[in-house]
Each structure stands twice: as C-alpha cells, then as structure tokens.
Chain A
C-alpha cells in the first residue's frame, strides 16, 4: 500500500518520474513541503499567502531556511523532531538548487544541528 501511495505521489510530480535517481531532498519535498508550497514551489495566495520557494532570494542564506524549517514561521509548523536533521538538510539543499534557485554550498546535518531551532516540547494538546 505504501508503495502505491509513493507511486501516486511520484506520478503527480513529472519532474521526479525521470530515470535519474532523485535528489534525496526530493522525496521530503514531495511528502511534506508540497502540501503547502505546491509542486512548482510557487506557493499561493488566498486570504493569506504561502511563500514561493521558487526563485526565492531568502534562500541565498542557509540560515534563513534552516531557521524556518526547524522553527516554523506563522502558520507553518516547525519540523525539527518530525524530520531528521539529515532530511532537513536534504530538503533545504534540494530547494536551494531547484525551482529556479541556483545557490551554491552543500547543506549538512551538522549545520542543522548547529543553527537549527530546538524542537519545542511535545504538546499533549
């Protein structure tokens, strides 16, 4: 069942259907980020706005996406503790080099550990 589900996800994203092995961050993007930021990473606008990650100048500074993904921002929840530091590094690396972004510099799990916001205590609410 899990396989079918992933297959459906992949099929929904033509860019990933190519033969080359996908970027390790691609699957994280697909399974987490795409729910809000959309398949094309362009975000959306309604009563409020979901930020576009495509062509996003803030991504030039790794500190920025690291702070947002680990600590959350506005309606966006934090993902520290839900994703591993490696997964967070992978997906930031993926977004910084795809969707029209061509930022240099590898993002590592060590950077996430050093710069990331600590996960808040698990809530029982």
Chain B
C-alpha cells in the first residue's frame, strides 16, 4: 500500500528490514519494538551461594510457592512451606472420583467421577508461549497433550438467533468471512475504498477476498462448490452412484451477525488462546503434584497463617493448625509470601503501610466451573465433536468437551459451565447440586435429548466460596497498577510477595511462576548483600 508522501508505516519499515537483512534481523527488530517476544522467561534462575544456614519460610504451596522453595532450596537455603489446604497446588487443582470438596458455607461434595475423569476447577489450558510453565513441566516430568481450543464442528448458540437453534461454528465462520468478503469487494467496486488505496491495490485485494471469502467468479458468496468447501455439504462427497456432493445453503447474513459468532472468533484469536495449547495428561492438578514431589517433606499442610512478623532481624510466622486449633510459630531469615491478597489483607502482616495498602487494594474476580460426567461420549459418537468449545449466550457461557481420552468408550466429563461476571455470582449463590441442575438445563439446549439423558454425576466449584482464595484472581486496573503495583512487588525488608497477583499475567499459572522467579532472585540478592 503506497500512501502519497508521509512517513513510512511501521509495517513498511519491518518489511524493508526483512528484505534486506533476512528473517533473524527482522525478528530482532520486532522484539526490540515490542512484538514477537512472547515471554519474559530467560531460563531457570540458577541461584547459588546462599549464606550457610540461611533459611526461608514460604507461605502457600501453590505453584509460585513451590517454585520459590525449589529454586531457593537449590541455592542452598533451608526452606519450609506453610499451606492452608491438605494438598499441594493451590488453584492448580483437579477433582477426581473419590475426592471431597467442602466450600465456604459448608456445602460438601463427594466427587463421583469414573476413574481417570476429572474437573479442573482452576486453570485448564496452557498457551504454547508460557515458556516457564512448559520448562518446569518438562523438568518435573509432567506429560502434556494438546488442548483443543478451536473446533469448527462445535456449536454457537444465541437465544436470539436462528430461533434459538445452535449452529456449527464452521458454518457461521464460513458465512461470516464470505459475506464480509463480498461486502468489501462491493465497496471496492463502488470506489468506497479510494481514499485508502489505489485502484491497483483494490484489484489485488479483490483477488485475495475471492480466495479468502470463497466467492464465486462474480465475487458473490453463494451456495456452490466454493462456499461448500468451507461450510460443508448437504450431501458430502462419497463413493459410487451417489458420490457427487450437494453443497449447502449459506445462512442469511442477518442471522449470522445476530448469532454473535464474532465473540467466539475473539475467544480463539486472543494471544493466550492461539494454537497450540496444552493440558497435562490426567488433569491440570498433575502439575501441582509434580512440583510437590520436588519439595517433598518440606510442606506443612493444614496450617492457617494468622501473623507474619519481621521484627528482631528475623521473620516469625504464626499459624493455627486447622484440625486441632493448636497455635504454632516458625522463624526464618526471610519469607516468600504467596497468600492471595484477599486473605493476606486480613492477616496481621508486618510490612510498610504502603505495602499493606497495596495488599488491601486489589479485589478478586469470581468464576464458576461445573463438571458433568456423561455415561457416553455422545458428542464424539454422534456429533463428531472432538474437544473444543461450544459457546452460548446463557449464563453457563460455554461447554467444553474433553481433550483427553478422545475416541475412547465410556464416560467423559464435559465442562458444563465456565462463567464470568454477573453470571458467576448468580450461579455461586446456588447450592452445588442446583448449579449442576442449572448447567444441565442450559447445556441441554445445545444437545437436546442427550445431555440430561446421559448425565450421571457432576461437581461444581464457585470460586467466591473457595476457602483458600476467597475468589478467582486478582483484579488490577490502571489506577491500582499505578498506585500500588511496584510497592506490592518490592522486597519489604525480609519479606517478598509472589503469585499471579504480583504479575502482569494475572490469572495464569505463568504469571505465578514469573512472579516467583523474579521475587526470589531479588530476595536472594538482598540476602547476599545483607
């Protein structure tokens, strides 16, 4: 695109560098300009040379805490982890058959899933560019498998489109692209784009639109071999006498717009959900288990921290044994505290007033996840949906089909709700069995005649009632970042905070790990300088 006069665009500069210096120069230039670099992970920190006898108390056995203990232990520190739950992992967690989960308010669920099945109440997918998480998964022997994010065969449901009938993502996506291509082509013909491109550029774009949008020779998106190749057939190609395919009819574009399919595009296009994504074989909780093996014997479970003091040249942590009520204390030279801020703000913490204000300034989001075990994998056997996500405008938000154990016989667990915003509060207000019932009612709209019929048992986790977090994730905004973030992450004498809340990759495991690596690197430096 040549624009008369004016400075070259960023894209033009990059193109010029690419042509002249080759791909590696281009990559370097892009990284310098803030694109293409996908992680701040530069490898494990390789800390060493801790002063003899130096000790660290780590609060919280989630990923941030266990990584801190692992790396500081390697550096020579004596480490101990204090954890509220009776298991490692924190929000990295899978619920399996036989597990029991008691939420705040007292509702207790005994999970009835078949062997091998699970619900990931917290994180459930790993972007390919979360390099620190991938590094430690490999180092700690966590087997990964692909997580299917985008599935063209999955459904998009909008109660206000197509009379409430769910449609295939494939058909809606094809029709969206086709119609947009046709409209844009018309705009070029009508000289509607003359202000931004030359006639020659317009002609080139039209050729691209023809291929991209599956348009016919007259630049129309219509029923025919071109559109059918993307959206599918009324009668698919076969063999023998009736082998010839019959194309399908595109939907009315008004219906396609009304379906909100563009919201589903946006879901898949976000950098954090682009191909390839991963999940651990056997449930996300496998990561927490693997981290825990690296710090075996160092975790004190069932301990509710009540006070963190750093007077007198040491850190003293006081906790209550959850089972017995007994009060205990431990002393160390330093402390890495990964307790979620909503809980930490209620604990007597001996840090600067600024850090206390920062701890109190960050609210937590809510989310509800419901796992529904189905007796058969009808979505695979009958619908040819293998993994991926169907979207709906109902409160459950989406249905996700399991990416593990695909094409096997027997029961599978569908993620039957993953809610955000107001829907989370509504669903969390219900007792677990009614959350499951609501998820069944709403999910049945996408798979009528199968969903409720094949259901055998479920589990529902409302993060607002999670005893160990009081919510899902830290919610920063521009103002709180400006006012509190640097204070929150600074080393406060002998204490440093870590966790997803102390990162700019909030709500992701990668944020917890990068925060932890950065925190312990600075703490170690401070310890050596002391």
Contact = CB atoms under 8 A, between A and B. Distances in A.
Contact of B477 (A4, A12, A38, A120): A120
Interface in A69-86: 72-78, 82
A72 B343 contact: no
B424 A44 contact: no
Interface in A32-59: 32, 34-36, 38-39, 44-50
Contacts of B422: 31-32, 82
Interface string B340-359: 11110111000000000000
Nearest to B445: A1
Contact of B426 (A9, A36, A49): A9
A44 B159 contact: no
Interface stretch (B22-30, B236-244, B465-473): B465-473
Contacts of B428: 34-36
Nearest to A47: B84
Contacts of B69: none
B109 to A, nearest CB: 16
Given A31-B422, A74-B342, A4 B441 contact: yes
A90 B469 CA distance: 29
Contacts of A9: 426, 429-430
A48 B342 contact: yes
Interface residues of B, number: 52
B504 to A, nearest CB: 8
Contacts of A30: 429
Contacts of A5: 395, 426, 438, 441
A48 B346 contact: yes
B429 A47 contact: no
Contacts of A32: 422, 425
A34 B429 contact: yes
A74 B429 contact: no
A19 interface: no
Interface in B436-473: 437-438, 441-442, 445, 462, 464-471
B395 A8 contact: no
Contacts of B340: 75
Contacts of B462: 35
B192 interface: no
B394 interface: yes
Contacts of A120: 477, 479-480
Contact of A47 (B363, B467, B479): B467
A39 B394 CA distance: 24
Contacts of B360: 73-74
Interface string A89-125: 0000000000000000000000000000000111101
B425 A31 contact: yes
B410 interface: no
A119 to B, nearest CB: 10
A72 B474 CA distance: 13
B479 A121 contact: yes
A46 B477 contact: no
B129 interface: no
Contacts of B434: 8, 11-12
Interface string B404-445: 000000000000000000101110111100100110011001
Given A12-B431, A50-B104, A75 B479 contact: no
A49 B347 CA distance: 10
Contact of A44 (B104, B429, B438, B478): B104
A113 B235 CA distance: 62
Interface in A1-18: 1, 4-5, 8-9, 11-12
Interface of A: 1, 4-5, 8-9, 11-12, 30-32, 34-36, 38-39, 44-50, 72-78, 82, 120-123, 125
22 contacts: A5-B438, A8-B437, A9-B430, A31-B422, A35-B424, A35-B428, A38-B104, A44-B105, A45-B104, A47-B305, A47-B343, A47-B467, A48-B343, A48-B470, A74-B363, A75-B345, A76-B342, A77-B364, A120-B477, A121-B477, A121-B479, A125-B506
Q: Which 4 A-B pairs have CB atoms at the shortest separation, nearest pair first?
A: A75-B342, A46-B467, A35-B428, A48-B343
